[in-house]
Chain A
């Protein structure tokens, strides 16, 4: 069987300088303080940090200049986001807009939408959330029922989204809605860009098991948005969402968001580590190094205009497993109390509690394995 061909990761320009500049910038601008904020850091909202990062040119890097972007190569952006994640920077506020909503607006949006939203996204001021899941549509996304009727004044939206991360802190939602009455499954769906301050939108918090308010329920009660809110083609929502999910699944956040724990483990082990701890560090490092190769190769393939749907799913599957396994294995080997006040114990506790969500958000493990199986020709 033909092997997984490694796509060369070869960003233009001086990558070492790009890293060094960003590291120097982070040394001045990254908020100090709570260590646990450095884990799962793309769920950590900090609008001040996002604005500063945008002003420094690290958001919307690949967007055209006329929309406030940097016209940089996608792999330069990759280098920047892997540095931000490895440093545990609080990138949550702008993360979705920068990763998927901005690129989607550029690709499918109207000129008016681009001019209206992209500059704010690139400045780190406009934040977006993902309106896919509904109470009756989880893994089975094609059963979404939130509807938008085409009327003389605009689109009239009724229905409900759920699990919407950051809706309460975002300005816009890119929602998948049913625009064709009586349509079934993945036909008749469209994407609408909804300003969340529109009358009739109600956002209610859902507190997660860690006690945090990250995700929400979002209700639409006869919400009227202009005709211009439609993104791309009417009825092509499914195809566009599939492209969006490709961007969502392949990034380095799927294996690097718990990097703070590996760093803390290494620091706690010291230069003469206990043999069992040394072996654990070796095993985790080998997995991390391998995942980085897979992730970079997939990013390079995406940048070359290919659609590495299966590779992206492999990165997500292995990355999720790595990030869920790491805190469990650290807990099994390192002697540290559940309530200890040191960095390692705090990170461990936080990640043990956060990690069940890793193989749910962005497509469950079972759904991802199904995509890989389809790639193998089994479905």
Chain B
């Protein structure tokens, strides 16, 4: 990662940690609406790789706030598909946080005289969850690379946006179910932080296109390519 992005992430982490309690004010003051605005126009001149890094942190620390909307407002009227792309990064962050909370919990909570994480059944569940999180992270990062390669041309990225949002949507069910299962009752309370990421994940699966919508769109695109054409298109795109 570049030094500029490292600094951006440090700032974002601090701002979102504060915003988790204080609401949008700190995010607005930090000027995230300028992230995608060109430097020549007084903006930060960031790319989608930056947006992805920032939104991943937002998904982790402040998943309820309209950070993506604020960032995309810098583009004027951002196409709906870019909102879907932004959702993928937020979802990746929330899933990473659900996994981190789960690991911490099973390492701490003891039953039968040992931490839960020492039980093979629990280990295997968390491995399944970690695979889903890795898949969504990879999808979000690959989508970011494609968006930057096309200068944020949402139409040129229709394939990747559909694939990434659909993959993220499908991971939601697995990730939220396992996270809650390994937490037991404590994860079902208002007091404990797990719902702060799992409820936004459930919500985002419906927002900016649910599974059926993107699956149909992607499926029709691929059908038009034909069997061999699918492989040729995949390898030509990246």
Residue ranges of A at the interface with B (Cβ–Cβ < 8 Å): 1-6, 16, 19, 82-83, 86, 259, 262-267, 269-273, 275, 277-283, 285-287, 289-294, 297, 311, 314, 317-318, 366, 368-370, 372-373, 375-379
Contacts and interface: CB of A to CB of B under 8 A. Distances in A.
A283 B162 contact: no
Given A4-B138, A263-B227, A279 B163 contact: no
Interface of A is mostly: helix
Contact of B103 (A286, A290, A377): A377
A1 B214 CA distance: 28
B110 to A, nearest CB: 14
Interface string B123-163: 11011101101110111011001000000000000011011
Nearest to A277: B219
A353 to B, nearest CB: 22
Contact of B135 (A259, A277, A294): A294
Given A4-B133, A4-B134, A269-B223, A376 B127 contact: yes
B231 to A, nearest CB: 5
Nearest to A1: B100
Contacts of A285: 163, 218-219, 222, 230
A282 B126 CA distance: 27
A271 B123 contact: no
Contacts of A317: 127-128, 131
Given A263-B231, A376-B127, 6 more contacts: A1-B133, A281-B223, A282-B166, A286-B162, A290-B167, A369-B128
A327 to B, nearest CB: 16
Contact of B215 (A6, A279, A375): A279
B63 interface: no
B135 A3 contact: no
Given A6-B141, A292-B234, A294-B135, A275 B216 contact: yes
Contacts of A368: 127
A279 B219 contact: yes
Given A281-B219, A282-B215, A290-B138, A266 B225 contact: yes
A29 B89 CA distance: 44
A282 B212 CA distance: 9
Q: Top 4 closest A-B pairs, CB basis?
A: A263-B227, A278-B219, A282-B219, A282-B215
A290 B138 CA distance: 7
Nearest to A261: B227
A289 B163 contact: yes
Given A4-B137, A373-B127, A379-B123, A283 B215 contact: yes
B97 interface: yes
B126 A271 contact: no
Contact of B92 (A3, A277, A318, A369): A3
Interface string B99-132: 1100100110000000001101011101110110
Contact of B99 (A1, A271, A279, A370): A1
B222 A282 contact: yes
Contacts of B218: 281-282, 285-286
B235 interface: yes
A318 B131 contact: yes
B156 to A, nearest CB: 15
Contact of B107 (A282, A291, A377): A377
B144 to A, nearest CB: 9
A257 B130 CA distance: 24
B226 interface: yes
Given A271-B223, A283-B166, A290-B139, A378 B131 contact: no
A369 B166 contact: no
Contacts of A286: 162-164, 166-167, 170, 214-215, 218
A6 B142 contact: yes
Given A19-B235, A266-B223, A377-B103, A293 B138 contact: yes
Contacts of A283: 166, 170, 211, 215, 219
A378 B106 contact: yes
A373 B219 contact: no
A83 to B, nearest CB: 8
B228 interface: yes
A99 to B, nearest CB: 21
A311 B131 CA distance: 9
A95 B216 CA distance: 37
B189 to A, nearest CB: 22
B217 interface: yes
Contacts of A311: 134
B220 interface: yes
B162 A271 contact: no
Nearest to B139: A290
A282 B56 contact: no
A311 to B, nearest CB: 7
